[in-house]
Amino acid sequence: MQAVINVEGLVKRYGEITAVDGISFRGFRGEVFGFLGPNGAGKTTTVECLEGLRVPDAGKIEVLGEIPSPTNYALKARLGIQLQETAYLGLLTVEEMLFTFARLYPRHRDIRALLELVALTEKRKSYVKTLSGGQRQRLAVALALVNDPELLILDEPTAGLDPQARRALWDLILGLKDEGKTVLLTTHYMEEAEYLCDRVAILDHGRIIALGAPAELVRAHLKETALELELEDGIEGGLLEGLPGVRRVVKEESGTVVLYSDDTVGTFRALAELFTAGKLPLRDLTWRRPSLEDVYLLLTGRRIRE
């Protein structure tokens, strides 16, 4: 597998704040690589360093064999970038905007085909300000694709979208992967990382705390079932830890308690007994297969979106 991104010991500070604290990873050609983490974890700073928009304080970065910098225009021509916020030229239509961007590059994709690809053909004569959130995000991806880049970098492409619009963008991104593009994206949506990414790096306080294929990460950290308990009041300390099958107990600040059990039936039975005896003030109980959310919860004691 050919590495198209090579990062070693990247550090980026803003005054006193260390936004990225010594991260290393590689991104391979043709994969969808995700940075997953809560707000402020350092995702945007990392991708902005890769794009050459920020200069690292320490570490080495290589993207498509080049060192990114604000003046490395040859590299920029090979990248497709969607920033978290795009300032649109308000007086242009969708089509005019794509043609304007296309002229900035030595080569570009066919604009009509691009409009088709992002399902904006019907909106091509509309002013950008009249587009819905999902249409705007699809336009942002189209603008990132206009120069037919080898590597596409998408910063929270589906933030704030409704489930249907998010799904449409997921399909678009998977289609690009089928075309052979390499995609690096950031997200704080667990399901998105699980659905889209071949590999994810989970970022917390500027550090990578886990890296791998989503299913492998879950398997490596958790073999148990997750039982999520919402309680009316607190309960006796240690009561849940001692139940049959329970391997780990995570108590969240919100009051939710998550039990990880390797004997689901045994744990359920014991919970039912406690409940019947009036010792478990249960409001809600959910039983699920562990996910990346659980990996994050186990490693940090927090959820990604709190």
What residues line the site for ligand ATP (CB under 6 A)?
A: 14, 17, 19, 37, 39-45, 188
Beta carbons of 59 and 7 less than 8 angstroms apart: yes
Q: Which is nearer to ligand ATP, 44 or 182 (CB)?
A: 44
Q: Nearest approach, Cβ of 15 to ligand ATP (angstroms)? A: 7
Residue carrying structure tokens 């950008």:
128
Give the pair of three-digit tokens for residue 212: 């791998």
Q: Which is nearer to ligand ATP, 78 or 303 (CB)?
A: 303
Q: Which is nearer to ligand ATP, 37 or 134 (CB)?
A: 37
Residues near 28 by beta carbon (within 8 Å), at least 6 away in sequence: 1, 2, 3, 4, 182
Q: Which is nearer to ligand ATP, 144 or 249 (CB)?
A: 144
Q: Nearest approach, Cβ of 56 to ligand ATP (angstroms)? A: 13
Q: Nearest approach, Cβ of 46 to ligand ATP (angstroms)? A: 7
Which of 202, 194, 297, 296 has the alpha carbon at shortest distance from 253? 297
Q: Which is nearer to ligand ATP, 148 or 191 (CB)?
A: 191
Q: Nearest approach, Cβ of 155 to ligand ATP (angstroms)? A: 7
Q: Which is nearer to ligand ATP, 280 or 297 (CB)?
A: 297
Q: Nearest approach, Cβ of 97 to ligand ATP (angstroms)? A: 24
- C-alpha dist (Å) from residue 9 to 2, 22, 43, 45, 220: 20, 4, 15, 14, 24
Q: Nearest approach, Cβ of 271 to ligand ATP (angstroms)? A: 37
Q: Nearest approach, Cβ of 199 to ligand ATP (angstroms)? A: 18
Beta carbons of 111 and 99 less than 8 angstroms apart: yes
Task: Show the CA angle centred on residue 115, arms to residues 82 and 76, nearest 5°.
Answer: 35
Q: Which is nearer to ligand ATP, 22 or 266 (CB)?
A: 22
